[in-house]
Chains A and B, each alone.
Chain A
């Protein structure tokens, strides 16, 4: 089973029909374990119980960024290899990535209220995630504006790649502009600064959210393929009525 075999949508549909239930089950189990561990995790000595927001906030932020990565890979698939499923993958990933980004912003805002005393500060990380959300919404708007799916895919692919080049630049600029958020503390060269009692549930939640993304993405791709089939059938019927 190589990538090119998946180019056949029927094969993709039958494969994902077999894989999806297992994936969804694994996601549910891991999420349950993660939520249980997060609930049992000790409170922070400064932040109290609000630290538990982190178990949703951090995975959502990560998946928000991975979503754009998936879209960029799919965009390369569209423009370079003309892989038929790359269009579908890119289109399906956009709303999911946007949803995770929005979840990151909302949980961060709720966390900021007790900790920083305000729902929103113009801090570097918050602002660059907000810009990321705006770019997601721009890509979704472009998808919805162009009727023809093939053409919409190519336009969205160009925009996605331009965004992929620009996101690090935007991130750097906004960091330069203002910074208040704490520096990265999970992935560091000199080891993590988080206590294992909190780190373990966080990693479980990261894996669970990644599986959740994968499950939602595959399901959305299936829906998109079926939607396109319906569209083609309706156009054929309209053509038949018009006498072509």
Chain B
């Protein structure tokens, strides 16, 4: 347990101290939300109607943007090899990394969402609904993204591929996140129905994400050793 908490603290420290972590994501979120009125016009009634969808899309893209830092930095400096060979189960280790990643990139988005809701003319009730659905839904985005990050970790230009692999899998999260927000604002279905499905989706991804990511990383490990061999063989 101490190893996992050490990993958690280390990742959070790295995210906070090495620049470009949480605040860049929030800044990107702000810019996306700022761009939307330029595209569709400054109609406040329309913005209020599609506000939850804009906030959800912005949060989705912002969390996607940070994903390539999730394991690739550890791959570059070699600490991923240590995690792979450690006695801690790899599934728990990557889950701890994803948790640290969500605390430093996902949670700031949730905190920023009410402020951005003001820009989109959302009333307090709608703002609370969007913030609540984001709080429940963004962990799912991070844990699904974890799979993509693990699959593309050793690729030189994995960023774009990562987005292509991960985005189709996030369709259900987006559907139920926006549906729950809209249910709280206009109805007619009760907020609880889509919201509890969103909770279920998050719980599923909390299980599938670390297991699949650990599988992907382990399968990559044999290759890491294989790529080392030509260098050893060089005369």
Chain A partners chain B: yes
Residues of A that sit less than 8 Å from B by CB: 79, 131, 134-135, 137-138, 141-142, 145-146, 148, 150-151, 154-155, 157-159, 161-163, 165-166, 169-170, 172-174, 176-177, 243-244
B212 within 8 A of partner (CB): yes
- Please report which residues of chain B, range 200-223, place their CB below 8 angstroms from some CB of chain A when the two chains form the complex: 201, 204, 208, 212, 215-216, 219-220, 223
Asked whether B172 lies within 8 Å of A158 as measured between CB atoms, the reply is: no
User: A166 contacts B165, CB within 8 Å?
Assistant: no
Please tell me which one of the listed residues A79, A142, A165, A177 contacts residue B165 in the complex, with CB atoms under 8 A apart.
A142
Main secondary structure of the interface of A (DSSP, over half): helix
Quote the shortest CB–CB distance from B185 to chain A (angstroms): 17
Interface CB pairs A-B, < 8 A, 15? A79-B215, A138-B161, A142-B165, A145-B158, A151-B220, A154-B220, A158-B151, A158-B212, A158-B216, A162-B169, A169-B172, A170-B171, A176-B179, A177-B179, A244-B233
Judge if B147 is at the interface, Cβ distance under 8 Å. Answer: yes
**Residue in B147, B158, B171, B176 whose beta carbon sits within 8 Å of that of A158 in the complex:** B147
Bound: A174/B151 CA distance, A: 26
- Could you tell me if B155 and A145 are in contact, using CB atoms closer than 8 angstroms? yes
The answer to whether A138 touches B168 (Cβ under 8 A) is: yes
How many A-B contacts at CB < 8 Å in the complex? 79
Given contacts A158-B147, A170-B168, A176-B175, contact A146 B155 (CB under 8 A): yes
Query: Do A135 and B176 form a contact, CB below 8 Å, given A146-B155, A169-B201?
Result: no
Across the interface, do B175 and A162 meet the contact criterion of CB distance under 8 Å? Answer: no
Q: Which residue of the partner chain A has the closest CB to B173?
A: A173
* Interface: B31 (CB within 8 A): no
Q: For residue B174, which residue of chain A has the nearest CB?
A: A173
Please name 17 further chain A to chain B contacts, defined as beta carbons within 8 Å, in addition to the given A158-B151, A177-B175, A177-B179, sorted by A numbering. A79-B215, A134-B164, A134-B167, A135-B168, A138-B164, A142-B161, A145-B161, A146-B155, A154-B216, A154-B220, A158-B147, A159-B151, A162-B147, A172-B172, A173-B176, A176-B175, A176-B176
On chain B, the residues within 8 Å of A151 by CB distance are 219-220, 223
CA–CA, A98 and B12, complex, Å = 41
Are B223 and A142 within 8 A (Cβ)? no
Least Cβ distance of A69 to chain B in Å? 18
CA distance in complex: A240, B130 (Å) = 63
A107 to B172 alpha-carbon distance, docked (Å): 26
* A162 and B212 contacting across the interface, CB-CB below 8 Å: yes
Residues of chain B from 23 to 71 with CB closer than 8 A to chain A in the complex: none
Q: Which residues of B contact A150 (CB under 8 A)?
A: 223
> Which residues of A sit under 8 angstroms from B175, Cβ to Cβ?
173-174, 176-177
**Which residue of chain A is the closest to B220 with respect to CB atoms?**
A151
Whole-angstrom CA separation of A66 from B223 in the bound complex: 31
Kindly provide the distance from the CB of B112 to the nearest chain A CB, expressed in whole angstroms.
Answer: 26
Say how far B152's CB is from chain A's closest CB, in angstroms: 8
The residues of A that contact B223 with a CB separation of less than 8 Å are 148, 150-151
A141 touches B164 (CB 8 A): yes
